[in-house]
Amino acid sequence: MSITISIKQYLKSNPNIKYILFGGKGGLGKTTLSAATSYWLAKQGKKVVVFSTDPQASLTDIFERNIFGKGEVEIAPNLFALEIDADKKIEMYQEEIRKKIIDMYGEVPKEVDDYIKSCAAEPAMAESATFDAMVELMTSGAYDYYIFDMMPHGHAIRFLSMAEVLDTWVDKIVETRKKADEYGDVASVLSGKGGLAQEDKILEELEFIRSRLDFVSNMMKDKEHTAFFYVLIPEQMPILDTKKALEIFRAFNIPLSGIIINQVYPIELLNQPNVPSLLKNKILMQQKYMKIIKEEFGPLIRGVVPMFDREPKGLEMISKVAETLFE
């Protein structure tokens, strides 16, 4: 399949790109392509970190190194990988929230403590912990490139929309608190009491949360510094999902940099007599969907990665995927 602009050409013609995201359904190879991209950039002499926001994905498996919950681990020269322990991070959140309540009010009421404990079971808490780790990593400024293996489609939409939804919520809370402050100041003067130090702390906390949300929201829409690639395979459902995803991302004003087609069986196998008919049928089916992908997303296709004869795990196989993707 002819490609108008490859991923290599895209990055070369956009030299200010710093953040690279891979999205798509689960199980299509986002983690593999994230790892391969980070490997290739590191080989070019760039300091790179790859981070999976997908709780199901495992950079530990891909790199065959136990990096879970160990912080930023150097996999190869210039190449670092990060896999957070979301449960541990949630526990840290809980302790931080308790400490802030104690600092402001002297104690944590039992009802509030029960609520804090119950929140830990909410899926949104894991997403929030991942979101926070993502922001923390990006604002560190320690790397030339930040590669993110995003969570599957449905979660990703919620994840991406979280910034906008929470930002609106924080706006309203801040506005309400400021109005309360104005009335509080008048009341303080009339009663002869001191300022509103505790209220200021809450406002500061809300403004801090909003600044981090704005950072991610702006990053996602910043075409100059962010590249967002969508991964699909030549089958019907991933094609339909990609069409829906493009519409949703468009609604969020998130530009798509391109599409990578993964796990494509080599068409040359059709000419080999010893290839089983089952596989030949699979290849013919893929070719039918390759044609549809070209019709639907032609100018956006940035790479075609074949199905390998072995699982793409370990640096040797990841380097092969990288060679194909960036050839």
Residue 269: its pLDDT value, please? 94
How far are the Cα atoms of 26, 155, 291 from residue 159, in angstroms, in the given order? 15, 6, 32
Q: What is the pLDDT of residue 94?
A: 78
Q: Which of 302, 322, 326, 262 is nearest to 75 (CA)?
A: 322
Q: Where are the alpha helices (DSSP H) in 106-152?
A: 110-119, 123-138
d(CA 318, CA 241): 26
Q: pLDDT (tens digit, 0 to 9) for every residue of the chain, 327 residues total? A: 778 899 999 999 999 999 999 988 888 999 999 999 999 999 999 999 999 887 776 899 999 999 998 999 999 999 999 998 878 877 887 787 778 778 777 787 777 777 777 766 666 677 777 878 888 898 889 999 999 998 776 555 666 666 666 667 667 767 776 676 666 655 555 554 445 555 566 667 767 777 777 787 788 889 999 999 999 999 999 999 899 888 888 888 888 999 999 999 999 999 999 999 999 999 999 999 999 999 999 999 999 999 999 999 999 999 999 999 998
Burial class (CB in 10 A: 0-12, 13-18, 19+), 14: middle
pLDDT (0 to 100) of residue 194: 47
Residue type, 187: A
Residue carrying structure tokens 């804090």: 116
As a whole number of angstroms, the distance between CA 294 and CA 301 comes to 8
pTM over 0.75: yes
Task: Kindly state the DSSP code that residue 283 receives in the 8-state scheme.
Answer: H
* pLDDT score at 89: 77
Pairing mode of beta strands 73-76, 79-82: antiparallel
List the structure tokens of 56: 């199901």
Residue type, 239: I
Our measurement of the distance from residue 127's CA atom to the centroid of its chain's CA atoms, rounded to an integer in Å, reads 10
Cα 57–Cα 58–Cα 59 angle in degrees, nearest 5: 125
Tokens matching residue 239: 């094609």
- Spatial distance between the Cα atoms of 187 and 231, rounded to a whole number of angstroms: 58
